[in-house]
Chain A
């Protein structure tokens, strides 16, 4: 139990996927302009990462490892994730138009979100059990969502500020991220 706790705290706060591992920077910068879309993206990523974590773990343990072809990890995982994302998108579109309106637009963006693939690989590298791997994936997704939501809150506020023109867009978002990551340094050594 405490093992899982360590994984959760570590993934969300100490080694926050965005602020200290630099995964998923693109959507972090892109979809953090509005709080509502940040929440939507966060939920979509969490959903996909939980599914992808389970699926990749199963593939690794029951196909790649037994056959001695662990070196196919990258290509196998990306295939799984790409297919999964598209599949999920189609299913949601058909079954729940409301959910699709909320999440659908973010789903295509997730394929190229390196967080999904990155964390799936890390979970395998760390020799996690299935439960640990899923928890790790979800915790990282929560960390991503947390960073995204905090960022969106901040960006909605700085929108009304008199920011110098050349800092508009990416630069100011990066500076914000840098200050957030300085703040998150406070969590280092927490465990």
Chain B
């Protein structure tokens, strides 16, 4: 039961992007199409999962005073692997995500989860935590990119959805549109939270 809970909390209650407001840089930069959002989410989840497993497994071995450097090394290793794998097998996505793949290293969520969760919990719980956070982040990215792609390009997964007559508002896939979309979503989340409490 608690494992399920570890999984679900990341999706809505503690959604890393919309509630904790972490990992904002890629969320603004690559959410110009749902494809990118999904790809980024997947890469992110893979790294988070792998690093959570390793860190929780090693949590008793790692000396406390150098745990942060150790985490960074571990996370960076997985990021590099994912980077290479994506380069090899999904070249188009690799090109679209560009520098934001290596930048997963400095995504606050991963270090944050390592420090706040994997460091203290067993492997099983850490896997569920990583999956929950990863799926939550991916969902958030898909929502963001969905909004931006539909409004800004008139397509969803590259398929035209708005009809030929409507011309999409290009600004939504430009930088200002990213800020606007994210701001609106966060405002909505604030509103919901205020209602709830």
Which residues in A have some Cβ–Cβ distance to B below 8 Å?
19-26, 29, 71-75, 78-79, 82-83, 111-114, 117-118, 121-122, 125, 165-175, 177-179, 181-182, 185
Is B197 an interface position by the 8 A CB rule? no
CA distance A177 to B76 in the complex (A): 30
* Contact indicator B175/A79 (Cβ below 8 Å): no
List, sorted by A's number, 10 A–B pairs whose CB atoms are closer than 8 Å: A22-B28, A23-B25, A74-B76, A82-B68, A112-B108, A121-B102, A125-B99, A170-B183, A173-B183, A178-B175
Query: For residues 153 through 197 of chain B, which have their beta carbon under 8 Å from a beta carbon of chain A?
Result: 171, 174-180, 182-184, 186-188, 190-191, 194
Is B58 an interface position by the 8 A CB rule? no
Task: Specify which of A23, A82, A168, A174 is in contact with B182 (CB 8 Å cutoff).
Answer: A174
Stretch of B78-86, B120-128, B134-142 that contacts chain A: B78-86
* Contact indicator B24/A25 (Cβ below 8 Å): yes
Task: Specify which of B72, B171, B175, B191 is in contact with A82 (CB 8 Å cutoff).
Answer: B72
The closest CB in chain A to the CB of B74 belongs to A75
Task: Specify which of B25, B171, B187, B194 is in contact with A171 (CB 8 Å cutoff).
Answer: B187
* Contact indicator A117/B25 (Cβ below 8 Å): no
Contacts of B191 in A (CB 8 A): 166
* Contact indicator A178/B179 (Cβ below 8 Å): yes
Query: For residues 102 through 119 of chain B, which have their beta carbon under 8 Å from a beta carbon of chain A?
Result: 102-103, 105-108, 111
Contacts of B190 in A (CB 8 A): 165-169, 171
Contacts of B63 in A (CB 8 A): none
Task: Specify which of A24, A25, A72, A168 is in contact with B80 (CB 8 Å cutoff).
Answer: A72
* Number of A-B contacts defined by CB within 8 Å: 116
In angstroms, how far is the closest chain B Cβ from the Cβ of A176?
A: 8
* Contact indicator A179/B103 (Cβ below 8 Å): no
In angstroms, how far is the closest chain A Cβ from the Cβ of B170?
A: 11
Contacts of A29 in B (CB 8 A): 21, 24
Most buried by A among B73, B106, B180, B190: B106
Contacts of A113 in B (CB 8 A): 106
Contacts of A25 in B (CB 8 A): 24-25, 28
* Contact indicator A75/B80 (Cβ below 8 Å): yes
Given contacts A78-B72, A113-B106, A166-B190, contact A185 B176 (CB under 8 A): yes
Contacts of B79 in A (CB 8 A): 74-75
* Contact indicator B76/A75 (Cβ below 8 Å): yes
Task: Specify which of B25, B77, B186 is in contact with A174 (CB 8 Å cutoff).
Answer: B186
CA distance A83 to B186 in the complex (A): 34
Contacts of A22 in B (CB 8 A): 25-26, 28-29, 175, 178
Task: Specify which of B69, B99, B106 is in contact with A122 (CB 8 Å cutoff).
Answer: B99
Contacts of A169 in B (CB 8 A): 190
* Contact indicator A174/B183 (Cβ below 8 Å): yes
